[in-house]
Amino acid sequence: MVRSFVRFIGFGGVAVAVVALAASLLPADPLSIDSLQKPEPAAQQQQQIPEIAEAVTLFRNRDVAGAYAKLQAAVKNRPELPPAELIMVQFFVSARQEDAVRGWLEKAVVAAPNDPEAYVLLGQEAMQNQRMAEATLLFDKAKTLLASFKGNDKRKADLAAATESQLARLAMGRQDWATAQTHLQDLLKLQPDSAAALQMLGRTLFEQKKPEEALEKLKAAKVADPKVLTPEAVLAQWYEQVTPPDRENATKYMIAALTAQPKDFRTRLNAADWAFKAGEFDQARAQIDIALTLDANSPEAKLLAGNIAIYQKDYPTAEKCFKQVLVESPSNFAASNNLALALCEQDDKAKQELALQYAKMNAQLYQKEVEPLSTLGRVFFRLGRMAEADQVFRQVAASGKSLSPDTAFYIADLYAATNRADDAKKLLENALKTTGPLFSLRKEAEALQKRLP
């Protein structure tokens, strides 16, 4: 629970360590808006407010009452500051004391009922914990208060931007696209160069069947931030996500993206991922190969290249890709788990034994997860250790979690090899009912189903 408060306060960048409070506190800015991105001005402001520096020292010495008293004095003398209770919130966020954070936000509402910031922060916390109706009410209250708020101009503008942004997200979450559009347009009046807001506005327009207007906003986002994904590639993603996927338009816009930005790494990576998820593995391989020529060190690209190779049954290439990721990131679960699979599917006893080491390690580290257990069971099976494979798959079944198609095949393969054909048939039947291309062993499952008596 402590983590949730640190996350919501830090949404705009405020969570700071106690030892750094004197240097990083932004008393003139709202606690949740862009504070960490501007530490140097914050330090300059801090040096000019001795009461707050003293409050930091008292807080670090666990004199909460003394710290609060100093902050009250600072706020009394400087009306441009947020309420003392909100500065105390930031202190307790830094100390990761969730109960105190919540309590001080409640105190802020009582002590300064016309200040919108506590409502914004409480709304963010409600969103983080999926209490969407409560969040909407809190942000609506903040917006009402902001209409007549007389505080620091920058603080007011930042709080208004945060409020409009979150109200837009809430509206998008309930698919109220017209309301979301209104909030985003108001947000862009405050932050006209916000690439994120422009992209979100593009999405609302797309969902209202206005793709050309959506593309216009995506292009404006690219101008605002050249690092964002190529506009046509974003539109291709959205067409792929509709139900059912609009493959014709997705393809059209992905081609347009590659034509517009043929040497852009993110565009090539996105095209590879799109083709992979669409089941076009040869095209995915071609795109990821180009992406890797543009950024040979990208772990994300190497992971995707390895996954594509697994689906193409090119296990040596998959092995190479995952090993490269693990050199840079030894704790990367996706890489080590998929490496175990790539190794065990090769007819090489030494590689299968190495696969077992990786699989055992992951099963130990992630004891509550099904995926590492599934991999461990498959490795035991490939080594011919049927009893151990059966024991592991019993744990998978006992977890009560739904089985992925690949896991269902692994278990069916074991059952078929141990004279449990009827059980194998049931598993295969369910696995083969799954739609979509991402079932790496579909052909093997179909072949096994045909072989069973």
What is the number of helices (H) and of strands (E) in the chain? 26, 0
Rounded CA-CA distance 199/177 in Å is: 13
Q: Is 149 inside any structural domain?
A: yes
Per-residue confidence at 151, pLDDT binned at 50, 70, 90? confident
Q: What is the largest CA-CA distance in the chain?
A: 86
Q: Is 409 inside any structural domain?
A: no
The packing angle between helices 2-9 and 98-111, to 10°, is 50
How confident is the model over 263-311, as pLDDT tens digits?
999 999 999 999 999 889 999 999 999 999 999 999 999 999 999 999 9
How confident is the model over 356-389, as pLDDT tens digits?
999 999 999 998 899 999 999 999 999 999 999 9
Q: What share of the chain is helix, strand, coil (3-state, %, to 5)?
A: 75, 0, 25
Rounded CA-CA distance 296/409 in Å is: 34
Please state the domain count of the chain.
1
Q: Is 153 inside any structural domain?
A: yes
Closest CA to 270 of 312, 242, 298: 298
What residues make up the domain containing 90?
1-191
Q: What is the DSSP letter of 402?
A: P
pLDDT at 36 over 80: no
Q: Is 39 inside any structural domain?
A: yes
Percent of the chain with pLDDT over 70: 89
Q: Is 174 inside any structural domain?
A: yes
Rounded CA-CA distance 5/1 in Å is: 7
Closest CA to 46 of 69, 74, 72: 74
pLDDT at 183 over 80: yes
Q: Is 393 inside any structural domain?
A: no
Rounded CA-CA distance 252/431 in Å is: 32
Contact 250, 236 (CB under 8 A): yes
**Residue 48: its pLDDT value, please?**
64
Of residues 367 and 210, more confidence is placed in 210
Q: CB atoms < 10 A from the CB of 413, how many?
A: 22
Where residue 125 sits, what CATH number does that domain have? 1.25.40.10
Contact 247, 278 (CB under 8 A): yes
The type of residue at 16 is V
**Residue 363: its pLDDT value, please?**
96
Q: Is 375 inside any structural domain?
A: no
Q: Is 74 inside any structural domain?
A: yes
